[in-house]
Structure 1
Amino acid sequence: MAVCDKTIPWRIWAFTFLLTGAVGQTVNYPRPVCGVETSTVTLPCTFTPLRSFIQSEREVLLEIVRVRWCKNHLICQGNTPSVYDSNSETNDPRYQYLGDKKGNCTLQIRDLRPEDSATFRFRMEADHTEGHFTGQSGVTVTVVDETEMRIISSSGESVMREGQTVTLHCTANCTFHQLEVTWFRDDHALPASGPAFQLGPLTAGDSGNYTCGLKNNLKKRSLTYTLHVGEKGEDVTLARTVGVVLGVLVVLCALILVFFMVRRTRAQRAVGGRKCPDNICSNNPQPAEEGRDHQQETSEVEEDISYASVQFKHKNQARPVEEAADVVIYSSVASRG
């Protein structure tokens, strides 16, 4: 009975140790990585191997003897093609293993190509099959064309003032790592490298057209980013606001002027289209002034009658004089109202 008491705890401990060791085998990958074609990306990676296992009620220590990286393969074992194999002497030099056999499995991919858009997985192999393990989740790499590169300003503005500081970021349509670039201003190379380029304190000489390109492929560059640096003390925002306000006022003034011109033209056309004297066509004729001399009124009436007669005879010379007199009398009566 005493022997059983000693054996059972040992077996329980051995089972627990084995279970813990198996569960403890892990591979930690980075988030999905995006890189620009012909650039270099690094895939940070760590792993936890199985240190030992229990065989015939005794602990057997394990040692990692081989590490591999495969592309688009779930297990990465046997004769599966590898992009890197620690046991191979013919590895593609574009794939550099920066890790070890202890816990670092970092892989660097140089001169990215479209075929590198894939899922990469790491596998560890020990001196016993119990220690073999593949991290099946893997890390996804996306390769984009360098023509998708662009420059983004930390300030969000392309107009700055002297004395300010700004950082230009050379980026693409996704997040990438370790982009090796060269910066240019007005097609002249600048003494700067890396995806971020800090400028400041700014001077007028920093104004220009900026581009960025990969160090190993300078033929293709990003879209142009134009930076303008104004003189110190110049309130660029206020200047832009004043310019906008003035522009709006000019447009309003032009619209008002056009409106009045159109209105005046219409009024002139309306007056020119009238076919009778104002004292006849008017709906509201002005009354004669009180106290006006009767003799003066008679002369004015006679002048109106004569005018009307002339106008009438000019237009209708063939009609009898009696009819003209009747029309004249009617016109005179209408004018005196």
Structure 2
Amino acid sequence: MVFRTTQSVLVFVLWSVTMAKDCGQKTQVVVSPIVSKKGEYVTLTCVTNCTLTNATYIWYRNGQRLDEPTSRQLSVISYYTSSFSCSVKDHEDLQSPTMCVLGRQCFNVTYTRQSICALKGSVVDLPCKYQYPNNKKLSWSNWYIQEKHDEAPTNLGSLPEYSGRVKYLGDNVSNCTLRITDLRETDSAEYKFRFKTRNTEWGYSFPGTTLTVTDLQVKVTPGKRKTKTLTCSTSCPLTDNSNLTYVWYKNGQHLTHQKTVTSYLILDPDSTEDRGRYSCGVKGLTNVLSPELSLGEQSVTTGTVVGITLVVVILILLLSGFIWFRKKASKSTSVGQDKAVIVQSVHPDSNSNTYATLNMRNLSTDDTLASVHPDSNSNTYATLNMRNLSPDYETLASVRNSQNDEDRQKISDYENCGEPPRNLD
């Protein structure tokens, strides 16, 4: 669109070429400010060659999204020092670059890199430039982190996990670069720069710099013949990998030969010399190592070791239980036989001194002794083994001693009976 007057015709066109999500062709987003006279309104037109039906347009001023209007054109006063940009709803990736009305110096923030991939434990710089009119004075500036698109960004200075790890390398004029040290995987997020002058504040609706922090992984791929290629890889292509020197380890020992400074190794898994556990790192980052990867037929993974160990333990427990039950069953049978009380019933002759014998040696607490009442005319007795006599039969000893005393008394009664004198005269 061109608006002509007798005084002047100004046309500013800024191109942004990208690929639309729902379009099979290259798309150009064009912002055209047209002015007829200083102080009058300027018409801004958002143009795209992507075929869209009933499209809804989004306008931004100084990095902040405007709720209204949603039409293709926007009219602003020509002396505005604000910057403007536009995009199509559901196609925000087609957002146009910012531009100043009448080409004047205005508010703007430019991120040199919209996405950065960096290694865990390393240092990364988020390059950034900003501008504002010369007649304005900077009030404050801060970096923010936005982890989710539907949430407001958070000031990095208020987060304790970033304390001592962030440094502002910029100035109060145009440089707004931020440095983050000792990168962690939790640092992966979108970072945005904001600043404010007396009356104007730069918003955070614009995309900032998306940082992805990755660790190292060793991946194996088939090579020529029987060889295997080990590659020290990351989850995203490192943004600055020109000066990286890789370090390889085998079984925890640093490999120092010439071929180990690259990001890959070519090995023969059938070779005894090449078999082992491999990990990789980057020179200068001693605390950043990949997990080990085993190479070779004899290598056993951790999961396999755990599985075998578990099976062995279960077999040992089952075998131990079987042996224990066998021993218990055998012992029970033996004890039952030993505890059996054998009583031999004897019917002696009335004139003989035959007794019934009771084995008291293996007598248990469950065994009982029956009281025996022999015939008064019989000399049959029950004899007991006195060696294993229990306390319940202590009275037997006294009876036995009493009997011995009586025998001694009988003997003493006849001690005076000797040979009769030969001569009684």
What is the TM-score with the length of structure 2 in the denominator? 0.35
Larger Rg: 2
- Structure with bigger helix share is 1
More relative contact order in 1 or in 2 (CA 8 Å, sep 6+)?
A: 1
